[in-house]
Structure 1
Amino acid sequence: MLPYQFIERPSPFVASDPKALTVYAVTPAELETGVLSKVDETWARAAGFKAEAGSFLLLQGDGATLKGAVFGLGKNPEEAPFACGKLARLLTAGVWRLEAPSLDPQQAALGFGLGGYSFDTYKTGKTPEAFLALADSVDRAALERTLQAVFLARDLVNTPTNDMGPERLGEVFHAIGTHYGATLKAVVGDDLLAQNFPLIHTVGRASAEAPRLLEMRWGRKGAKKVTLVGKGVCFDTGGLDIKPAASMLLMKKDMGGAANVLALACMIMGAELDLDLRVLVPAVENSISANAFRPGDIYRSRKGISVQIDNTDAEGRLILADALAYADEESPDLMIDMATLTGAARVALGPDLPPFFTDDEALASALGSASLEEADPIWRLPLFKGYEKDIRSRAADITNAPSGGMAGAITAALFLKRFVSNAESWVHFDIFAWSPTEKPHGPVGGEAQAIRALFRHISALG
């Protein structure tokens, strides 16, 4: 088993360096207006460089020495705000400075940093790294907080379950809390029953690793109460309603909600926001054994609501139900849950646009604005009351898997809403936590979603 500790990755940024080579990021129009010197412009034209999006060319100096580079942004650079992430993989090793007249320096630097990520825990050797010398106007501390958080989320999701089961996720949770001086607690195994977390125990009891509820508290009592809840299903076989093999291939990412709330918590604690922060992660593995929960079973939740199990593959909402009810008992000012909850959300909006659900109009508006400001896409879906009838059960109060297969993301959100009654504001994010295609700012694999927008909003609270 590979050891996992909370270790910050080396920064890809350095202070301004007079010896740094320059990479020019330009649009086709800028290429025509003299951004480059006449010599470099002649070289670029001879090489066929037209500043098309993602195009790249090294600039040659005297004696075949490397003089710099030029990078194409295309005609509409606003459509790819993190295009400079590709430079982290294109530039040769050494220190570079970015000259990009049409880009926001902070956002361009963030793109560069995000694009340098690679998950190489299980690989030998390492490629040379390019470093970016930052302009004085760039907030380096904010950049590095964001990068460390995003990389943490990506690392946790990318790590396979043999090295990131409930026990190891608990160790990472503890390491992060210790790093920031938080108060920590864990309820493990049969203690979940003794302390009234029956649904978390039900889902995780079939695994070789005991289910657990992880809790972290940090910040100032009396400040705004912000509570983060993340789904921590470290692997999901589907239970007795077993998934087909193809659907199980990426189920190491079913703890993506936990990974993202931990990343967001790191941003909050690293920035020392004046908040009363609480983080809850129910960590389980949905396995198959003689004591696995069954279709047709009925269990009473922490809140007292009875739930009929009509599909053991709808397990995430069960563990979240107990965690949300527990969080709600303290009446937080803002409660956020994040979960890789439904395939229906991906059918509706695809992998890169996570939906969120809330009844708080002011919160929805603020999150929409933060999303645009951070270029961190999210989209609101409705908590449509007309579908509440679909989660009713004849034998219990509610079902975990409505029949019919329609509006699955909405009915899942309505299920969770039943367990939130005291929080001043609540929002649920149904994230994918995975990038199925390579992007300039990241490879295929685990991804942080919505946390930059959430951090921007939360920063205004504390």
Structure 2
Amino acid sequence: MTSYRYIDRPAVLVEPSAASLPVYAVTPADLERAAVEPAALAWAKAAGFSAEPGSLLLIPGKDGRLAGAFFGVDGEGEGAFAAGKLAKFLPEGDWYLETRFPQEKIALGFGLGSYGFSRYKEDRQKQVRLAVAGDVRAEVERQLAGIFLARDLINVPTNDMGPENLEAAFRALGEHYGATVSSVVGDELLAQNFPLVHAVGRASMQAPRLLEMRWGTQGAPRVTLVGKGVCFDTGGLDIKSAANMALMKKDMGGAANVMGLALMIMDAGLDVELRVLVPAVENSIAGNAFRPGDIYRSRKGVTVQIDNTDAEGRLVLADALAYGCETPCDLLVDMATLTGAARVALGAEVAPFFTYDDALAGRLAAISVEEHDPMWRLPLWKGYDKDLKSRAADITNAPSGGMAGSITAALFLKRFVESETRWAHFDIYGWNPSEKPHAPVGGEAFAIRTLYRYVKEIAAQ
């Protein structure tokens, strides 16, 4: 099946052919055992190549042409993603792997490292392709397509990725896989009881909206994904500083990630009944912007006092989660670039997640280790639930004190999830702040490879 790509790019994985050159992916201990000509090993020794992970040495042939390359790997773990360097440093052409290690992770690292965002800048990338056979290639391409979609959506600036544009991308994804897509836009949000989505987004020139996608087989396990789609966050009337506003195009990273995950699920044809919900808004400043001190009755009937307009993501998620729970499901996952507190706790590379379901948490944690897709469970500490109390409403959107901000945000969302629902909340960053072999600076996917594998397990039961 052809994978959907939001921004088209050349294929980086191809079928093996006689024109492909070998890349010997070896550890220091493997170097002497590599199935290469003695002259190539002598060349490696003369060049001082020790097969340290991420190191590359081109092998010359007798006629002066390339004969192949040595590449140092640790063979397992996140170090396999060092193969992202191959996409940057190998000469143009087709290459294939010679290694004793499973090819899937190395191929995935290679593919991830090939990513580039050049929509606004001419940046010709080398056409380096890795030959990977059969099912491995199809599965790696599927995951690359989902991750690239998430990266692309986040990287596009808000002038081209406002709520209207996000809806267009959402519809294109759904239509590609034959899903049913609908939206509730503008004042119709009030008529259909999405008051918090409307309040947050009404000050923007682009109307707020609730996007919905349905795909799959009725009667199959039900999986509902909810993604925060705040296309830009000024902070509202509680305006952010310039420095804190600079990256707020990424505040729809939750939506981008659930769309990437949905792509993987649909492209694999998993036997699930999939539902994707994205409240798409821009938190702008205008005369009709919602204000500190305002009180709104949510879709669920819980009244919320606005004590900070910059705590808007939890508001739009509240209505979407309540709506999602109106149809029982076997798994409910929400993803959001929700709090700076999550970054203080776990930094930019580890995705914190919250759930009351110990079995779900344990399985996700185990998969994340196997997939080298870092995440860490944080507690839904009930002792902090009292911090959500408001004198004038049922709850506040911004507890005072400034402590445990990621936890209190998760506890806020828990108020809108039915107690019997198997639910996990991911407070992701959505951004890679420093260059890595498999990831440039920019928009990034978090936890969706783990979630994809977990949904595969649900579908197989």
Task: Give the structure-2-normalised TM-score.
Answer: 0.96
CA contact (8 A) 1:335 1:423 kept: no
Distance 2:149 2:412 in 1: 30
Deviates more, 1:307-316 or 1:373-382: 373-382
In the TM superposition, 1:11-410 aligns within 5 A as 11-73=11-73, 78-101=77-100, 103-135=101-133, 139-410=136-407
Deviates more, 1:266-275 or 1:27-36: 27-36
Distance 2:52 2:358 in 1: 41
Three-state SS of the structure 2 residue aligned to 1:419 is coil
Three-state SS of the structure 1 residue aligned to 2:321 is helix
Decide whether aligned partners of structure 1 residues 127 and 79 sit closer, same or farther in structure 2, where only a CA change above 3 A counts: closer
Distance 2:454 2:410 in 1: 22
Distance 1:34 1:196 in 2: 65
Deviation at 1:81, TM superposition (A): 2.7
Amino acid of the residue matched to residue 40 of structure 1? A
Deviation at 1:127, TM superposition (A): 2.2
Distance 2:156 2:294 in 1: 33
Three-state SS of the structure 2 residue aligned to 1:28 is coil
Distance 1:125 1:265 in 2: 29
C-alpha RMSD of matched pairs (Å): 1.6
Three-state SS of the structure 2 residue aligned to 1:233 is strand
Three-state SS of the structure 2 residue aligned to 1:256 is helix
Distance 1:49 1:428 in 2: 45
Deviation at 1:254, TM superposition (A): 0.3
Deviation at 1:125, TM superposition (A): 4.5
Deviates more, 1:349-358 or 1:116-125: 116-125
Unaligned runs of 5+ in 1: none
Three-state SS of the structure 2 residue aligned to 1:409 is helix
Matched residue pairs, number?
Answer: 456
Three-state SS of the structure 2 residue aligned to 1:437 is coil
Distance 1:348 1:312 in 2: 23
CA contact (8 A) 2:184 2:209 kept: yes
Decide whether aligned partners of structure 1 residues 162 and 229 sit closer, same or farther in structure 2, where only a CA change above 3 A counts: same
CA contact (8 A) 1:5 1:175 kept: no
Amino acid of the residue matched to residue 68 of structure 2? G
Deviation at 1:365, TM superposition (A): 1.3
Amino acid of the residue matched to residue 127 of structure 1? Q
Amino acid of the residue matched to residue 25 of structure 2? A
Distance 1:81 1:296 in 2: 51
1:205-235 CA-to-partner distances (Å, cap 9, x unmatched) read: 1111000000111111111111000000000
Three-state SS of the structure 2 residue aligned to 1:98 is strand
Deviation at 1:39, TM superposition (A): 1.0
CA contact (8 A) 1:320 1:416 kept: yes
1:457 has 2:454 as partner: yes
Deviates more, 1:380-389 or 1:32-41: 32-41
Three-state SS of the structure 1 residue aligned to 2:429 is coil
Decide whether aligned partners of structure 1 residues 135 and 174 sit closer, same or farther in structure 2, where only a CA change above 3 A counts: closer
Three-state SS of the structure 1 residue aligned to 2:279 is strand
Deviation at 1:135, TM superposition (A): 4.2
CA contact (8 A) 2:88 2:126 kept: no
CA contact (8 A) 1:328 1:423 kept: no
Amino acid of the residue matched to residue 90 of structure 1? F
CA contact (8 A) 1:8 1:148 kept: no
Deviation at 1:44, TM superposition (A): 1.8
Deviation at 1:167, TM superposition (A): 0.4
Unaligned runs of 5+ in 2: none
Amino acid of the residue matched to residue 114 of structure 1? L
Amino acid of the residue matched to residue 171 of structure 1? A
CA contact (8 A) 1:9 1:148 kept: no
Amino acid of the residue matched to residue 28 of structure 1? P
Amino acid of the residue matched to residue 172 of structure 1? A
1:50-91 CA-to-partner distances (Å, cap 9, x unmatched) read: 2222221211112321111112226x8535131111101111
Amino acid of the residue matched to residue 26 of structure 1? V
Distance 1:394 1:126 in 2: 59
1:133-181 CA-to-partner distances (Å, cap 9, x unmatched) read: 1145x52221111111110000000000000000000001111111111
Identity %: 64
Distance 1:290 1:411 in 2: 30
Deviation at 1:424, TM superposition (A): 2.7
Distance 1:431 1:274 in 2: 27
CA contact (8 A) 2:26 2:34 kept: no
